[in-house]
Structure 1
Amino acid sequence: MRADRLMNIMILLQNRGKMTAKELANELEVSDRTIHRDMDALSNAGIPIVSDRGKEGGWRLLDNFRSKLSGLNIDDIKSLFLFPSGKLLEDLELNIQALDTRQKLLAAIPGTFRDEAQAIWERIHIDSSTWRQSKEKVHALKTVQQAVWESKKLKIYYEQADGEQKERLIEPLGLVAKGNRWYLVASRNGELRNYRVSRIQTAQVEDETFKRPIDFNLADYWEQSKKEFIQNLPQYDVQVEIHPAIIPRINFTGKFVQFIQRKNPKEDKWIPATLRFNDKQEAVEFILGFANKMRVISPEDLPDKVVSAAMSVIEFYKNKS
């Protein structure tokens, strides 16, 4: 399309400064005559394109227009070089080679920013996977993605947390990658809901389209949804004293427990702390795993629960023998 070609001409001149009609024709795979007609069209549209004659001549944009064409500053350019995880791009079947894409970006930005952009590329790598990668099956992702792009209703069979599967007719609004998991944000009966894509057993794109809510913003909704989820999580706080030898292990397994408060070591070097769990059973199992390296101070009934769990383990293995 001619409009696309005219935009490409401006971008090429923005990036390279000056190009001859022949260079532009070769780049865009058209004739020299077509390029000259395009230049006339751009000039008539008010784009300040000038032609320099002579051996070093060629077409170029006026400098003040070139600086305004992109509007990018150094922070914008740095952000372009912070690529997402290759795994997420692979899930979306975007076979983008990060090296090739970054090389193209590097060639396209103004020379004054090029060194800083190169430094970002060489010094920061984003990996959203976990240490022990457990690949979730997201076989419905392609179908879900199609429905999102085309704004078509989607019929899904969704497995709930209790294992029960239910049919749902939803209006898919967007996909969110949280860590290494995909979530679908959709509207059902006028209410916004989140669906983990790996739990969608089957998905079928319907012929019927829908209108996206005018005021819906995916990023804003997701941030608010996260806050509400965290606020609604159950909390069970435990005061303990911790042997210093197990502190590294607790820090490493931080996703199972949250440090609320940690005080200075006592004279015996044990460290007072407050830990937060989702519920009492989770606390019992966690504390039991550290044997005699963690002592419970409160709640007062929790030590008895830990002892009871320990006795159950002992009886279980006695009976096994």
Structure 2
Amino acid sequence: MRAGRLLSTLLLLQTRGRLTAQQLADELDVSVRTVYRDIEALSASGVPVYADRGPAGGYQLVDGYRTSLTGLTTDEAAALFLTGSGATAAHLGLGPTLEAARLKLLAALPQEQRSTAERIQERVHVDAPGWFRDPEAPSHLDAVTGALWEQRRIAVRYTKWDNTQVERTLEPLGLVLKGTAWYLVAHGRRRINGYRVSRVDAVTVLDEHFERPPGFDLRRYWLEWSDRLQQTLYSGGVATVRVGPRAAGMWWMLGPVAERALRETAGEPDADGWVRVVMPIESFEHARFDLGRFGPDVEVLEPAELRDLMRAQAEETLRRYCE
């Protein structure tokens, strides 16, 4: 147990550079006191690790020190080959690089681990995008990616969700592939925000470099930002609807929030197989469009305003087909 933790500490320092005791404790899920003891053990075993004092201090390895020991287990090596088909790397211009790295890793593995990895590749394929959805390949992704690698500011013209256009000067901090859509995480005039790359209408890479915010964690930021976004989107209240068997079978079309509502709030089906669901909605207009696609297989019960909208939509549809 401790040997594995010492190895993890060594690899963290080797790959990330200087880290504080608290950062190491958070990564390894141990106490700061345990980190102190582990650092002492590494130093006593001959690993050239030292500490810098002060607010910007931390532990780091002597410049140039590297260890070739990776400690990959068979399962860990196999897991590295479950990273998809390479489409994500291809979008970023790294497709050939990823394939070359996989070949090198495969060749470097011991025979037992190599055999396991080859079986994984033969028998498991990861195809992340949902059915009938092509991955986005935004026209300006190359320019954004280049600026991200080089830490250069970009001037963009961006279309917001309400179709208004704005101009921004951004400092690219990361790219996130959410489902089939690429998002740019960037520092703007006042704060860090997320931008859908397909809504970037024009981009100019500026001859201005910037420094990344110290300690910025892309994964942590994205989880927090997407959670806030979801709460903002579903701020239109809730609707109570009756869902028929056919609509329930296609409920996934409304996304994970609606699916969770069906799973968590639906009671026992009535004699005809209908269930009552309480679901959050973005707005009456969004709900009218989303629920309207199910036709007579969904009935809105509450609120009254949304029920009236659904009735008016059904009457308008009937009028058009009767002309």
Q: Do Structure 1 and Structure 2 share a fold, with TM-score over 0.5?
A: yes
Report deviation, 1:187.
Answer: 0.9
Q: Is the 1:240–1:297 Cα contact (8 Å) retained in structure 2?
A: yes
Aligned length: 254
Q: Residue in 2 aligned with 1:230?
A: 230
Q: What amino acid sits opposite 1:106 in the alignment?
A: L
Hey, what's the Cα distance between the residues in 2 that align with 1:113 and 1:255? 37
- Say if 2:174 and 2:218, in contact at 8 Å, map to a contact too: yes
Separation in 2 of the partners of 1:299 and 1:149? Answer: 49
Match of 1:239 in 2: 240
Partner of 2:216: 216
1:194–1:287 distance in 2 versus 1, CA, 3 Å: closer
What secondary structure is seen at the aligned counterpart in 1 of 2:222? helix
Where structure 1 has 5 or more consecutive residues not aligned to the other structure, the ranges are: 1-45, 47-66
Identity of aligned residues (%): 32
Secondary structure, aligned partner of 1:212? coil
Per the TM alignment, residue 162 of structure 1 is displaced from its structure 2 partner at its CA by: 3.1
Aligned-pair distance for 1:286?
Answer: 4.0
SS at 2:207 equivalent: strand
Q: How does 1:14-29 map to 2 (within 5 A)?
A: none
For the structure 1 residues 187 and 296, does the alpha-carbon distance in structure 2 shift closer, same or farther, using more than 3 Å as the test? closer
Q: CA, structure 1 residues 167+311, in 2 after alignment: closer, same or farther (shift >3 Å)?
A: same
The AA in structure 2 aligned to 1:249 is M
**C-alpha RMSD over aligned residues:** 2.9
- Single out whichever of 162-171 and 98-107 deviates more from structure 2: 98-107
SS at match of 1:232: helix
- Hey, what does 1:312 align to over in structure 2? 316
* Distance across 2 between alignment mates of 1:293 and 1:70: 56
Aligned-partner SS, 1:306: helix
Aligned to 1:166: 166
Asked whether the 8 Å contact 1:159–1:201 carries over to 2, the reply is yes
Counterparts of 1:81 and 1:194 in 2: how far apart (Å)?
30
- Letter of the structure 1 residue corresponding to residue 211 of structure 2: K
Contact 1:158 1:199 in 2 (8 A): yes
State the Cα deviation string for residues 151-192 of structure 1 (Å, max 9, x = none).
111122222223333322111111111122211111122410
The answer as to whether partners of 1:82 and 1:124 remain within 8 angstroms in 2 is: yes
1:106-255 correspondence runs (5 A): 106-134=106-134, 136-233=136-233, 234-254=235-255
Check 1:92–1:287 CA distance in 2 against 1; reply closer, same or farther (3 A cut): closer
Equivalents in 1 of 2:108, 2:152: separation in Å?
Answer: 36
The reply on whether 1:294 has 2:295 as its aligned counterpart is no
Task: Using the TM superposition, give the Cα deviation of residue 216 of structure 1 relative to its aligned residue in structure 2, in angstroms.
Answer: 0.8
Q: Gaps spanning 5+ residues in structure 2: where?
A: 1-45, 47-66
* 1:270 equivalent in alignment to 2:279: no
- Change in Cα spacing, 1:137 to 1:287, as seen in structure 2 (3 Å) is closer
The one-letter amino acid paired with 2:310 is V
Q: How big is the shift at 1:139?
A: 1.9
Distance 1:204 1:285 in 2: 37
Residue of structure 2 in register with 1:8 after alignment: none
Deviations 1:271-305 (A, max 9, x none): 33333332223333444443443334433554333
Judged with a 3 Å threshold, the aligned counterparts in structure 2 of structure 1 residues 308 and 209 are, in CA distance, closer, same or farther, namely: same
Whether the 8 Å contact between 1:85 and 1:128 is mirrored in structure 2 is no
Contact 2:182 2:198 in 1 (8 A): yes
Q: How many Å apart are 1:148 and its aligned residue?
A: 1.0
Letter of the aligned partner of 1:290 in structure 2? F
Alpha-carbon distance, 1:87 to partner? 2.6
Corresponding residue number in structure 2 for 1:104? 104
Change (3 A) 1:207 1:109: same
Q: What's the secondary structure of 1:273's corresponding residue?
A: strand
Distance in 1 (CA, whole Å) between partners of 2:204 and 2:305 is 52
Counterpart residue type for residue 272 of structure 1: R
Structure 1 residue 81, shift from structure 2 partner:
0.5
